[in-house]
Structure 1
């Protein structure tokens, strides 16, 4: 399989959770993922954790990118991780979080199953490389 075919098979859901209305970063990463050859689904704003889990499971995504700037990451992200586990999708889904996440909150998110946290200033290239290197093979 060529590199292009492999990249095209990476399905990503970029999701906004909770009442966070700041979606510029989610749009930027969605477009960058698309331009990198990934299949991208964007959730839109104001999704409950359960809605994100349902979308990830129904769309059979390889990567779930959660964009959150509201400060509710310590509550909402674990709910998403628990929901993925309930459906048996936690092990098959690379979960990323993008946003302003304080250093002291990162270990709890990582222990919940978040593979990587990307903060402000992370290059698009770094994010795309991480996905290419770590997306589960299907």
Structure 2
């Protein structure tokens, strides 16, 4: 049987291979934890006033705002915690990705800031897309439980 997996490119500096291999999962874990905790800090103000974004979400067409505003707050705050610890990583990252995709629309279209206004939201959306597809690695609660979505 032949191996059909793509060959890894050879390293220009082969001695760095061990370092890259050793840090592979750690770097991914750092990105996941940082993204989750930064989302928590972004959602903290919203969770303290869950109805504070009613007008904003309704201006984007999400009615009734009294439903969507607390959902936004919970997704950012609790979703960020779940992503950071790696529990229910895929659904939490997916929900966060949807919220962040709406911010791409908000900054890029509603506020007419174009790419320059939406670039951070695009980056954050793609980070959470990565974890929605990939899930958490061995440094997560999902891994400790032995279950993932």
* TM-score for the superposition, normalised by structure 1: 0.32
- Structure with more of its chain in helix, by fraction: 2
Choose 1 or 2 for highest CA Rg. 2
